[in-house]
Amino acid sequence: MSGVGLIGIPYDEDSSFLRGAAEAPPLIRDAFFSEASNLWSENGFDFGSAPFHDEGDLETLPGEAMRDRITASIGSLLDRGMRPLSLGGDHSITYPILKAFGPRFSELTIIHIDAHGDLYDQFAGNRFSHACPFARIMEEQLAVRLIQIGIRSLTGHQRDQIARFGVETIEMKDLRDDITLEIGMPVYLSFDIDGLDPAFAPGVSHPEPGGLSTRQAISLIHRIQAPIVGADIVEFNPRRDVAGLTANLCAKLLKEIAAKMM
Ligand SMILES: [Mn+2]
């Protein structure tokens, strides 16, 4: 088997503020297959004639058992030759996902789109908080490079972490629309929906004004010049959504990311 392997990870127990992200995966699928649109990506890929493999949603387990389940499930997709595309869930899932990628890829760059750095050493006493995944990933050297885009809420501690781990952070205030993303190695794309401005993505737990437009986000995806071997779409919180706008946005990003991966 080859191609994209979709998997839902309905887990939000490591969210620090609001629950609800666990309810996202089936709503993103519904929006993706909605008859309001079609199954063609902007670059001409038709998911109607070439659908991706869908593993369905993982059973939700508590804490450490869930992390082990995520790592095993992503590893299984990779060992079957597929490129995992995960629907979260909160951003804590990215650390156990990368624990599956790390041992299988000697060279891997993470492109991380987000309003937040998610680099806290711990948050409210939790080292596995959705505010911490990239600290764990960089400590364990699960990727060679971490490139962050759209960040606009850094604290002094997070700036220290950026220096400590050599993270390449392109803050939203410094982002240029002609950015090039030529990466000479496989890429893992971690897409936090709150990287977009709350005007485009109201359904998130931590809305941070001043973010990406939908068009900027899609252009960033299209500009990645490297094989994308895995991706996640996280932090959509349906309890905060308005008129299904954010579910529809997630479905659009899913289509453009998956097409880029095919
Ligand atoms: Mn975020």
Closest CA to 202 of 258, 211, 8, 131: 211
CA of 14 to the centre of ligand 1 (A): 13
Domains of the chain with bracketed CATH: 3-261 (3.40.800.10)
CA of 9 to the centre of ligand 1 (A): 17
Tell me what pLDDT residue 144 has.
97
Question: How much is the pTM?
Answer: 0.98
* pLDDT, block means (10 residues), the chain with 262 residues: 91 94 98 95 94 95 96 98 97 98 97 98 97 98 98 98 98 95 96 98 98 98 97 98 98 98 94
- What does residue 234 show for φ and ψ, rounded to 5 degrees? -130, 165
Residues with CB under 5 A from ligand 1 (ion): 114-116, 192, 194
Tell me what pLDDT residue 161 has.
98
CA of 79 to the centre of ligand 1 (A): 30
Q: For residue 45, count other CB atoms closer than 10 A to its CB.
A: 18
CA of 99 to the centre of ligand 1 (A): 20
CA of 44 to the centre of ligand 1 (A): 30
CA of 91 to the centre of ligand 1 (A): 7
Tell me what pLDDT residue 105 has.
97
Tell me what pLDDT residue 1 has.
56
